[in-house]
Chain A
Amino acid sequence: MKALATIKRWLVPLVVPVALVVAWHVAVRATGTRLIPPPYDVGLMLYDFTFGGIYDDTFSKTIHIHFWKSVQRVYGGFFAAVAIGVPLGLLIGRVPAFRKVIDPTLQILRPVPVTAWLPLSMIFFGLGPNAAIFLVFLGAFYPIVLNTTFGVRSVDARLFEAASMLGCGGSSLFRQVVLPAAMPSIFNGLRLGHGFAWILIVVGEMTGVPQGLGAVIMDGRTLSRTDLVISGMIVIGLAGFLSDRVIVALNNRLLAWSPQHHA
């Protein structure tokens, strides 16, 4: 019975992806399109991308180079967003004067799509990885700062009263009450921001970098290599998924006290 449960746990999430691949195959066959390769061809491309030996072109056996470049940019931008977004969110949530000064500006900048920053970021940072990191940073920054602010502002006022009557105030109030109470929201922001970081890597690597998963997709588009484009999409999807699992595991460990915040 236990083995059956384990099989179920692993098989159930696979049902939809497998069905999608089957539908993709059938649709390509039925329409006879030459614009979209069937799943098998993409599989070959992925194999070649990873191990080489099939096409032996510039993309063969280069997945690790592109993957590593993208990971560096995603996490460079993401950690910068955490390093600035969390403290800023804590300040905005906790200090009303600071909120009045900074919040309107933030709310005006926030609706500007990250893609709109592309030309300016290339002027600021030149052609190269820094522009990509900046765009990833922008995408991850807003959800992190907003969720942190929300977390701090929604701390139950009773908890402040309880802490103050127990002799806790000042900076230890911040460390012992505000921070842990806001932690579920902060993690929510981290997870959203982290998702945006992976989403924006393609845009970020449109800035004319030679390597990276986003650059591979852009190259594939230019060369009309749709199999390469789809391979890049699959690798980004998997990488984003796996690193999201890491955040979720961290979340569940740190928020063991709050079952409803488990993902």
Chain B
Amino acid sequence: MPDAPAHRGAHPILSVSGLNKRFTVGEQTVEALRDVNLTISKGEFVCLIGASGCGKSTLLRLIAGFETATEGQVQMYGAPITGPGPERGMVFQDFALFPWLTVKENIGFGPRQRDLPKDKLEEISRHYTDMVGLTKFADYYPSQISGGMKQRVAIARVLANDCEVLLMDEPFGALDALTREKLQQELLEIWERTKVTVVFVTHSVEEAVVLADRIVVMTAGPGRIESDSRVPLARPREVSAIDFNQVRRDVTERLTSHVAVKSAAAA
């Protein structure tokens, strides 16, 4: 498995350099991220994986612009990110849909902020509602649809806003196994069709190997990048294939190696 991240197309869209992030909770300072460096190319599908507390969600939130760096920078096309923006769309684990808007209105929320003519807005909302297969549920409220459907709405909502980077924070973590698999496939189809760049946080090795071009393994205490490697598998990927298992074992080893080292030191 090649260790250095070679880029598809190699046009960097996001770059994280010398990033440190500390939180102050009461009197205590928690070091969430230490010296994180990462470059992501346009159109890449990158998975951030690691145990809880490794800072993977914090890194994602810094890219989204919901948090600010203590030191270092996050840049998009070379310009520093200073806050949230429509070009970077976040998909949350708990969906964060607007409960008072219907499926179609949720999807049209971003475009509505841009003073588009009414028929244009309608066209965009319908297009993305259809794209995620929710045509029949367009007028339902979030409380009336399943978790899988809610997450489809959340994905369509950021795509409808012409986002270039899809930031996903354990988006399928709250879904059952069958729905999760189905949504993974749908996400890959959408990714291939729209050429959107995806940064996907997960703690499931299998999910990362199914989805990613490139897997960034992070470790905790403080959060930093342990390893960064490409997934040498063609698509579509078969979970039961031998080479798939090989990659999965490899990622699992890198994910747990530092734990083994630590427990050896403790003993």
Q: Write the residues of chain A forming the contact surface with B, with a CB cutoff of 8 angstroms.
A: 156, 158-159, 161-168, 172, 176-177, 180-181, 183, 255-259
Contact = CB atoms under 8 A, between A and B. Distances in A.
A172 B109 CA distance: 12
B86 interface: yes
7 contacts: A158-B94, A159-B96, A165-B86, A166-B86, A166-B161, A181-B98, A258-B141
A167 B96 contact: no
B100 A166 contact: no
Interface string B77-101: 0000001111011101010111111
Nearest to A180: B100
Given A162-B96, A165-B85, A165-B86, A172 B143 contact: no
B89 A258 contact: no
Contacts of B85: 165, 167
B158 interface: yes
A166 B99 contact: no
B34 interface: no
Contacts of B101: 257
Given A161-B66, A162-B92, A167 B100 contact: no
A159 to B, nearest CB: 6
B133 interface: no
Contacts of B86: 165-167
Given A162-B98, A165-B64, A177-B98, A256 B113 contact: no
Interface string B124-157: 0000000000000000011100000000000001
A257 B100 contact: yes
Given A162-B90, A257-B100, A258-B143, A167 B113 contact: yes
Interface size bracket, B side: 20 to 34
Contacts of B83: 164
A159 B113 contact: no
Interface of B: 64-66, 83-86, 88-90, 92, 94, 96-102, 109-110, 113-114, 141-143, 157-158, 161
Contacts of A164: 83-84
A255 B92 CA distance: 24
Contacts, number: 71
Closest 9 CB pairs of A and B: A166-B110, A158-B96, A165-B84, A167-B113, A257-B141, A180-B100, A164-B84, A162-B96, A167-B86
A161 B97 CA distance: 11
B110 A167 contact: yes
A183 B85 CA distance: 27
Chief secondary structure at chain B's binding surface:
loop
B161 A167 contact: yes
A167 B114 contact: yes
Given A166-B109, A172-B113, A257-B141, A161 B96 contact: yes
A179 to B, nearest CB: 10
**Interface hub of B64, B65, B100, B113 (most chain A Cβ within 10 A):** B100
Contacts of B88: 165
Contacts of B84: 161, 164-165
**Interface hub of A177, A256, A257 (most chain B Cβ within 10 A):** A257
B92 A259 contact: no
A257 to B, nearest CB: 4
Contacts of A159: 96, 98
A123 B143 CA distance: 52
Contacts of B99: 181, 257-258
Nearest to A173: B113
B113 A168 contact: yes
A239 to B, nearest CB: 32
A161 B98 contact: no
Nearest to B99: A257
A166 B97 CA distance: 12
Nearest to A259: B143
Contacts of A181: 98-100
A159 B154 CA distance: 12
B113 to A, nearest CB: 4
Nearest to B86: A167
Contacts of B143: 257-259
B83 to A, nearest CB: 7
A251 to B, nearest CB: 13
A177 B106 CA distance: 12
Nearest to A260: B143
Contacts of B66: 161, 165
A167 B181 CA distance: 31
Contacts of B100: 180-181, 183, 255, 257-258
A167 B85 CA distance: 6
A165 B167 CA distance: 11
B90 A165 contact: yes
